[in-house]
Amino acid sequence: MVTTDEVIDTRRRILDVAARLFREQGYAGVSLRAIAREADMKAGSFYYHFASKEDLVVDVLNEGIRAVRDSVERAMQSLGPDADGSTILRTAVHAHLTSLLRLSDYTSANVRVFGQAPEGVRVKALATRRGYETFWDDLLGLAQRRGGLRGDADLRVARLVIFGALNASLEWFRPDRGSIEQLADSYADLLWRGLRPEALKS
């Protein structure tokens, strides 16, 4: 057989399986033997591809952020530079939710597992997370400077609220009980208009 990417395929298979299991059962809930079983190998063979369980989960977490960031970046690029604030917000929210809830087990594994993982893992997966946060801060900052977002809005607070709200949807969203598009629209609409009645300005 071809030897070139045989190993890489196996490694990818392990990562895919691990992402799915971590997403479903959390960090401590997934044993190495379970990962090996789902990847059609024995537990010992795992160590030919990864140095430890912690190394594996670090890779899963970082790939999760890479995927969601890629998703949002592409969506932004498809917008053109003159999109208004509402469109930017809705599109970014939609892209993030799509990666989290439909496309990537890696992204959902990150959201679910990051807070459960041992400190050493979190340290090695923090920079990527921070980078994604900065990416959103830049995104919102640019839109605000162009007048697309309320000028006196605290964008750090906005990002924290947005991240908290979007990522929490992982815990309750079921694809058969609502579409991601509708969810994204609802979330973006609330974040856009707020809860204040439109008639008055108090």
Partner DNA sequence: TGACCATTCTAACTAACGTTAGGCTACTCT
Partner DNA sequence: AGAGTAGCCTAACGTTAGTTAGAATGGTCA
Q: Which residues bind a second copy (CB under 8 A)?
A: 26-29, 84-86, 89, 112, 115-116, 118, 147-151, 153-154, 157-158, 160-161, 163-169, 171-172, 186-187, 189-198, 201-202
Q: Pick one of 53, 94, 96, 159: the residue that binds DNA (CB under 7 A).
A: 53
Q: 34: which residues sit within 8 A by CB, 6+ positions away?
A: 21
Which tokens hold the place of 106?
A: 């890696």
Nearer to DNA, 47 or 84 (CB): 47
Shortest reach from residue 35's CB to DNA, in Å? 8
Shortest reach from residue 19's CB to DNA, in Å? 15
Nearest to 89 by CA among 63, 97, 175, 179: 97
Residue 33 in contact with DNA, rule: CB under 7 A: yes
Shortest reach from residue 192's CB to a second copy, in Å? 5
Residue 46 in contact with DNA, rule: CB under 7 A: yes
Look up tokens 């190993």; give the residue.
7
- Report the C-alpha gap between 94 and 61 in whole angstroms: 21
What are all long-range contacts of 77-83, with beta carbons under 8 Å and residues at least 24 apart? Answer: 83/148
Shortest reach from residue 63's CB to DNA, in Å? 19
Residue 1 in contact with DNA, rule: CB under 7 A: yes
The region that residue 52 occupies, defined by phi over 0 for left and psi between -120 and 50 for alpha, beta otherwise, is beta
Look up tokens 């140095």; give the residue.
51
Q: Using CB under 7 A as the criterion, which residues of the chain lie in contact with DNA when the complex forms?
A: 1-3, 6-7, 10, 30-34, 40-49, 51-54
